[in-house]
Structures are given as structure tokens and as C-alpha cells.
Amino acid sequence: MAKCQMCGKGPSFGHNVSFSKRRTNRMWRPNLQKKTIINHDGSSVQVRMCTQCIRTLMKPQG
């Protein structure tokens, strides 16, 4: 569910480390956005993609 449909980036796991070095579990989730992609045949598809992929797609070619 919480995966980018372009690159496959998903949640990653680790620890919060306090000043006294106590560790608690935590999770980092990718920043997923819903975007509408228009295919070559004119049909549109709604996909969930991370902001890094959106930046790559919007980057001017040249």
C-alpha cells in the first residue's frame, strides 16, 4: 500500500536515539502523492508516486 508505483520505494525502519542513548522503534514513510499520468493513447491512469519520482518526471529535458 505505502509503496511508490514507479520506483518501489516503501517504508524503512530504524530507531529514535535519545540524548541518553535509549532506542525506540520508528518508521520512515515515503512522501507519496496521487498523480494522474496520461498514456500515449490518451487514456489517463492515477498512480501513487513519491515526490522524488515526481521531481524526476517534471525535470525539463535538455
| Confidence (pLDDT) at 60 | 80
Q: Check: CB of residue 46 under 8 Å from CB of residue 35.
A: yes
Give pLDDT tens digits for 4-23: 999 999 999 999 999 999 99
- Residue range 12-58 in CATH 2.30.170: yes
CB-CB neighbours of 33 under 10 Å: 13
3-state secondary structure of 62: coil
The identity of residue 51, as a single letter, is T
| Confidence (pLDDT) at 6 | 92
Flag whether pLDDT at 62 surpasses 70.
no
Give me 32's grid cell.
Answer: 507519496
Give pLDDT tens digits for 27-51: 999 999 999 988 889 999 999 999 9
